[in-house]
Structure 1
Amino acid sequence: MKASDETLVLHCKRKFRLRKKHLFFLFLYIGISFFVKIHAQEIILSLKAEKPIAEGLKDSLLRKSTFKDVTSLQIETDTIFQTLQRLGYIESELLELQKINDSNYTANFFFGRRYRNIRVYYSKEDFTSKNLQRISSEIEGEFFILPFESIPSSLRKLTAIRNQVGNAFARVRLSGIEKDGEGNLSASLIVDNGNVRTIDSIIVKGYEKFPRSFLKYYAGVRKGKIFNQKKLVAQNENLNSLGFATSLKPPEALFRKDSTTVYFYLEKQNNNLFDGIIGFATNEETQKLEFNGYLNLELNNNLNYGEQLLLNYKADGQEQVNFRVRATLPYLFATPFGLSAELKIFKRDSTFVTTEQQIRTTYQINPTSNVYVGYKTYDSSNLLDQAIAGNAVEDFTSRFFLAGASFLKPQNKRLFPVKTYVLLDTGFGTRERDSISENQVRIETVAHNIFNLNYKNSIFIQNTTSILFSENYLINELFRFGGINSIRGFNENSIDASLFSVLNTEYRYQFNEGVYIHSIIDLGYFENEILSIKQKLYSAGLGLGLQTKAGIFKFNVANGNTEGQDFSFSNTKIHISISSRF
């Protein structure tokens, strides 16, 4: 064979091999495309039963009708079966998953009868009728009736009830589901209690020096108490209202074989308060140095004991001077007993000065309620150089035995930490003047509540009432009210009364955790037996509250009027206060 012929043969063979390779890749591409197209095709599932299926039921059973593969389709048919069981079709079963063609399948079910209710027999040792009212409206002597669909949620609620009484690992289930001759379902309620858990130890993380007496008495967390997770969370929330501590997260429990340890996660907060402006000047008439302004100092828990030292001073330079100091020691010697002592001095221009001293012993009944007994004295001096006709100001000394009670319910809100507060303070004693002794009774009450309509809207209502019972009265022993802490729109402590009652109302709108506005509508009534006055008071206005870096700033504008008095803009008062924490 010639060289030219050999070259031609080799060229033909090479050309044939290239064509063969191209054909191979062409067939491979066609095969892959066909395979991908088959597997990318969606599979449609339809339902079929021994009777027509209502559209509403079909929609609730068949949540999706197309699937990417047979595996996901089979998972859906299992889900449909479980849904039928929960709906009360307890006789249902999947008869066949039939393939119609490559893209269509039919699930053939037998539904059977639907049972809408079930009669559950229970033991009264496990649950009371009151417990069962949370899940059923039909309760008989030995059984109660449940809607079949509510069985899972009802069992969860009953389990939670058992958990709350110390059975932390309790489980509640139905057993022996049967049909009676009339086609009704019945079952027995089985309670696996496990071991009753009690709190064996309490550990505080984060704020190790937290005064433990507040856990025991203020929050109500004690060793030996039955473990109740829900109650512990509520008690933990109460600790946030203390001010000097905050909770970092809900409490946790460590369960060992023979003990239960509860962990609280707390952080110490600075809770000292300061607010004040102090000025001084020389009196042109007396050439004496006079102070004016106000000071409000509150020191809380600086010794990690929960103690409080309160100091108030307010003076306008001429008419009134108020001074108050109080010390409070809670939970003495780790007991529910506490002790407080207070000193008040009130001076009205050059008319009189009254000194009030009291000491109280408090006993905490439970985390929200306290009772107390105490002793209070009043010493008042007439500062006038000469007697003025009709001016009932005299020297006197009063001694009172005190008894009272208070109720406080906190809430987890930074701007409004107290939801409900009730105080009853009574004093029984005598007043002595000019060697004449006279029996007296003093009663003071405070009650307020916040009605939370929703997160942003709330209504605040407060009533303050004070009564002095006596045969006759002196000006310097009367109650004094008016101002931002009593009835707004009137000067501070400008009204003397032997009896007064003030109703404060506010509609509050809270923009966020740090800003709110509110209305002011205050109503008051007072009597002054010395002047034979019985008068009604009214005030209205607006207020603003801000949580600033310096503290809580409050700005109130209110116009106060007496009954029968025409509105006058000059009666408008502006009340400003700021509470700075450090």
Structure 2
Amino acid sequence: MKKILFTFFYLNIYTCFFFGINAQELTLSIKAEKPISPSLKDSLKIPNSFIDSISVKKETDTVFMKFQQMGFIESEILNLKKENDSSYVANFFLGKKYSEITIYYSKEDFSKKELQRFSSEITENYFVLPFETIPISLKKLTAVRNQQGNAFARLKLSEFEKDENGNLSATLIVDNGNVRTVDSIAVKGYEKFPRSFLKYYAGVKKGGIFNQKKLVEQNENLNSLGFVNAIKAPEALFRKDSTTVYFYLEKHNNNLFDGILGFATDEETKKLSFNGYLNLELNNNLNFGEQLLINYKADGQEQVNFRTKVTLPYLLKTPFGLSGELRIFKRDSSFITTEQQIRTTYQINPKSTTYIGYKGYDSSNLLDIAVAGTPVEDFKSKFFIAGVSYIKPQNKKLFPIKTMIGADAGVGVRDTQGNSDDQLRIETFLNNIFNLNYKNSIFVQNITSALFSDSYLVNELFRFGGINSIRGFNENSIDASLYSIINTEYRYQFNDGVYIHSIIDIGYFENETLALKQKLYSFGFGIGLNTKGGLFKFNVANGNTQDQDFSFSNTKIHISVSTKF
């Protein structure tokens, strides 16, 4: 037994000794015909040690390639010597270091405008590049060719020459391969996805030039629809004579229900009053991209606002769509106004839409006795309307829209008890998110509306105020013939589900029926939480007019929850 243990112990000692000798670390140093500066040596990033001579040889070849890329194109490996058991020395000839290179090109391959992204010195025949930027510049130039449909384009430098002044030049050789077009489009995962959205909303069309970068952007556009999620980036299958693009999508429930509960102090009774808001959106339940919207608002002052809208996009697989809308507004026992609207829309491009249509108003005076200074009358109005909108999405879960611009104009006639007045209504909308970085952003929005007429009635004026216009005021509590509001928020996003923001709103309005011009201000803060139950928003804002002293009683608290199902 002792003999066996002794043998085992001896073998372990021998094994450790054997591997200890063979695991000895090796080092590599470099020399050249001229001194190598410490900064140049550091930029080579040579490892401190190597496990064997093969690793030393590979690193020597790597150093040679680095010298070439730095501009020592005449460099050579003279030899690799083993000085002792643990160190090697690589001897190089470096030669002259070229800091830039003149590259001759063909105007058929690249335009001067395309080359301006890579070089500051460009002529009709050549451009100049810093030598160390050659690899990345060639890679980017290849991407330019890829975006033009040359998916298999290859670029290289050839015919290197050195003139009498020692300046280096080369010729850019471009192998474009075959120009690729999108011959067929396939959708995986969501087989019933409405294909018209691919063509008109995302801009993916058969016969278009294949561009991988553009396909990724178009895929992100589909994500902004709300009722579909892109599982992964699109892919392409290249056959000898055709190209098939695959989109990987899944249907996403995008029906929306949300409500708001507001608390405020009644200015007359000084008691707590409530106002409410309910919104229902049914989106793409028939796999057509259609939308049904039902909206109801009521406040503590017997004000009721009802709205319903139906949108049918891309009828008969064309860029034309149709929408119809009905609004009913009732203010206590003063008046009730009904608005009907129908639009024909046309998708200009994936981000822009235009429309024309008809809008009609029918209003009834509910007052038994006329109130002095409050012109409320029965009237009917008819307007021809036209407008345009622009929407730019972004890949952010909480804030999917980066920019939104809209303009609407209506020309019409108002009839009241046999009298007619020509009228013009203009409404504009603009908002944008300035992303400072992932967590910080600034939101800016402007809403402007104006009614031009020879005379004005209270029941035809614009109504604004509340969480969706100027915060710190009751919903639709302000009547105006003209108003403009600027909403601003500084947003700090903790993660994809939580953010806080400031509230600074400024407004101006005119009311021709009261000969009133007024400025409005609102300050506050808010928080947003993306929970399993939906998006929860909590806003606190204090609204005041220009001649009004600050009062806590003007503070409004708004709570809203948007639930998707």
Distance, in Å, in 1 between the alignment partners of 2:60 and 2:459 is 87
* Pair 1:465-2:477 in alignment: no
Distance, in Å, in 1 between the alignment partners of 2:35 and 2:452 is 84
The aligned residue for residue 561 of structure 1 is 544
Distance, in Å, in 1 between the alignment partners of 2:377 and 2:14 is 115
Distance, in Å, in 2 between the alignment partners of 1:113 and 1:102 is 34
Distance, in Å, in 1 between the alignment partners of 2:115 and 2:564 is 48
Do the aligned partners of residues 62 and 202 (structure 1) sit closer, same or farther apart at CA in structure 2, a change above 3 Å counting? closer
Asked if structure 2 preserves the Cα contact closer than 8 Å seen for 1:295 and 1:313, the reply is yes
The aligned residue for residue 499 of structure 1 is 482
Q: How far is the alpha carbon of 1:29 from its aligned partner?
A: 9.6
Match of 1:132, as an amino acid? L
Q: How far is the alpha carbon of 1:293 from its aligned partner?
A: 4.7
Match of 2:159, as an amino acid? G
Q: Which has the larger radius of gyration?
A: 1
* Pair 1:253-2:256 in alignment: no
Distance, in Å, in 2 between the alignment partners of 1:359 and 1:33 is 88
**Structure 1 spans left out of the alignment, 5+ residues:** 1-17, 279-291
Distance, in Å, in 1 between the alignment partners of 2:12 and 2:423 is 109
Match of 1:261, as an amino acid? T
Match of 1:328 among 303, 307, 311: 311
The C-alpha deviation readout for 1:520-569, integer Å capped at 9, x for no partner, is 00000000111110000000001111112221111111000000211000
The aligned residue for residue 337 of structure 2 is 354
Instruction: Compare 129-138 and 115-124 and name the one that shifted more.
Output: 129-138
Match of 1:178 among 151, 161, 167: 161
Asked if structure 2 preserves the Cα contact closer than 8 Å seen for 1:537 and 1:561, the reply is yes
The aligned residue for residue 115 of structure 2 is 132
Do the aligned partners of residues 31 and 360 (structure 1) sit closer, same or farther apart at CA in structure 2, a change above 3 Å counting? closer
The aligned residue for residue 114 of structure 1 is 97
Asked if structure 1 preserves the Cα contact closer than 8 Å seen for 2:112 and 2:124, the reply is no
Q: How far is the alpha carbon of 1:73 from its aligned partner?
A: 1.2
Distance, in Å, in 1 between the alignment partners of 2:326 and 2:320 is 21
Match of 1:254, as an amino acid? L
**Superposition map of 1:219-238 within 5 A:** 219-238=202-221
The aligned residue for residue 368 of structure 1 is 351
* Pair 1:455-2:438 in alignment: yes
Asked if structure 2 preserves the Cα contact closer than 8 Å seen for 1:46 and 1:65, the reply is no
The aligned residue for residue 282 of structure 1 is none
* Pair 1:424-2:388 in alignment: no
Runs of 4+ in 1 over 6 A off after TM superposition: 28-34
> What number of residue pairs does the alignment pair up?
548
TM-score by length of structure 1 reads 0.91
Asked if structure 1 preserves the Cα contact closer than 8 Å seen for 2:299 and 2:475, the reply is no
Match of 2:129 among 132, 139, 146: 146
Distance, in Å, in 2 between the alignment partners of 1:59 and 1:458 is 40
The aligned residue for residue 35 of structure 2 is 52
Instruction: Compare 207-216 and 44-53 and name the one that shifted more.
Output: 44-53
Match of 2:462 among 479, 487, 490: 479
Aligned-residue CA RMSD (Å): 2.0
Distance, in Å, in 1 between the alignment partners of 2:486 and 2:20 is 79
TM-score by length of structure 2 reads 0.94
The C-alpha deviation readout for 1:293-326, integer Å capped at 9, x for no partner, is 5431111000000000001112236521111110
* Pair 1:202-2:185 in alignment: yes
Match of 2:426 among 443, 452, 467: 443
Distance, in Å, in 2 between the alignment partners of 1:317 and 1:50 is 91
The aligned residue for residue 15 of structure 1 is none
Distance, in Å, in 1 between the alignment partners of 2:153 and 2:507 is 56
Match of 1:377 among 343, 357, 360: 360
Distance, in Å, in 2 between the alignment partners of 1:60 and 1:384 is 86
* Pair 1:99-2:82 in alignment: yes
Asked if structure 2 preserves the Cα contact closer than 8 Å seen for 1:371 and 1:405, the reply is yes
Asked if structure 1 preserves the Cα contact closer than 8 Å seen for 2:148 and 2:211, the reply is yes
Q: Secondary structure at the match of 1:302?
A: coil
Distance, in Å, in 1 between the alignment partners of 2:297 and 2:369 is 28
Q: How far is the alpha carbon of 1:230 from its aligned partner?
A: 0.2
Asked if structure 2 preserves the Cα contact closer than 8 Å seen for 1:398 and 1:432, the reply is yes
**Structure 2 spans left out of the alignment, 5+ residues:** 262-274
The aligned residue for residue 3 of structure 1 is none
Do the aligned partners of residues 72 and 472 (structure 1) sit closer, same or farther apart at CA in structure 2, a change above 3 Å counting? same
Distance, in Å, in 2 between the alignment partners of 1:338 and 1:32 is 81
The C-alpha deviation readout for 1:49-79, integer Å capped at 9, x for no partner, is 1111111112223612432322211111111
Distance, in Å, in 2 between the alignment partners of 1:37 and 1:246 is 57
The aligned residue for residue 267 of structure 1 is 250
Match of 2:297, as an amino acid? K
The aligned residue for residue 548 of structure 1 is 531
Match of 1:307, as an amino acid? E
The aligned residue for residue 399 of structure 1 is 382
Do the aligned partners of residues 312 and 37 (structure 1) sit closer, same or farther apart at CA in structure 2, a change above 3 Å counting? closer
The C-alpha deviation readout for 1:407-454, integer Å capped at 9, x for no partner, is 000111121111100110000000000101110000000000000111
Q: How far is the alpha carbon of 1:42 from its aligned partner?
A: 2.7
Distance, in Å, in 2 between the alignment partners of 1:370 and 1:456 is 31
Q: Secondary structure at the match of 1:565?
A: coil
Do the aligned partners of residues 206 and 62 (structure 1) sit closer, same or farther apart at CA in structure 2, a change above 3 Å counting? closer
**Superposition map of 1:73-88 within 5 A:** 73-88=56-71
Distance, in Å, in 2 between the alignment partners of 1:33 and 1:316 is 86
The C-alpha deviation readout for 1:319-370, integer Å capped at 9, x for no partner, is 2111111000000100000100000000000110000001000011000001
Match of 1:311 among 276, 284, 294: 294
Asked if structure 2 preserves the Cα contact closer than 8 Å seen for 1:422 and 1:448, the reply is yes
Report the identity percentage. Answer: 72
Match of 1:151, as an amino acid? I
Asked if structure 1 preserves the Cα contact closer than 8 Å seen for 2:431 and 2:445, the reply is yes
Distance, in Å, in 1 between the alignment partners of 2:526 and 2:26 is 66
* Pair 1:41-2:24 in alignment: yes
Distance, in Å, in 2 between the alignment partners of 1:572 and 1:547 is 25
Q: How far is the alpha carbon of 1:276 from its aligned partner?
A: 4.4
The C-alpha deviation readout for 1:492-520, integer Å capped at 9, x for no partner, is 10000000001000000111111111000
The aligned residue for residue 12 of structure 1 is none
Do the aligned partners of residues 353 and 124 (structure 1) sit closer, same or farther apart at CA in structure 2, a change above 3 Å counting? same
Q: How far is the alpha carbon of 1:183 from its aligned partner?
A: 0.8
Q: How far is the alpha carbon of 1:250 from its aligned partner?
A: 0.2
Match of 1:69 among 8, 29, 52: 52
Q: How far is the alpha carbon of 1:391 from its aligned partner?
A: 2.2
The C-alpha deviation readout for 1:383-409, integer Å capped at 9, x for no partner, is 111223322000001000001111000
The C-alpha deviation readout for 1:143-191, integer Å capped at 9, x for no partner, is 0111111111111000000001100000111111111111111100011
Q: How far is the alpha carbon of 1:126 from its aligned partner?
A: 0.7
The aligned residue for residue 580 of structure 1 is 563
The aligned residue for residue 8 of structure 1 is none
Q: Secondary structure at the match of 1:385?
A: coil
Distance, in Å, in 2 between the alignment partners of 1:557 and 1:387 is 38
Distance, in Å, in 2 between the alignment partners of 1:425 and 1:545 is 31
Do the aligned partners of residues 211 and 31 (structure 1) sit closer, same or farther apart at CA in structure 2, a change above 3 Å counting? closer
Q: How far is the alpha carbon of 1:36 from its aligned partner?
A: 4.5
**Superposition map of 1:516-555 within 5 A:** 516-555=499-538
Do the aligned partners of residues 31 and 383 (structure 1) sit closer, same or farther apart at CA in structure 2, a change above 3 Å counting? closer
Distance, in Å, in 2 between the alignment partners of 1:33 and 1:347 is 94
Q: Secondary structure at the match of 1:66?
A: coil
Q: Secondary structure at the match of 1:412?
A: coil
Distance, in Å, in 2 between the alignment partners of 1:293 and 1:89 is 75
Distance, in Å, in 1 between the alignment partners of 2:16 and 2:190 is 67
Distance, in Å, in 2 between the alignment partners of 1:318 and 1:563 is 24
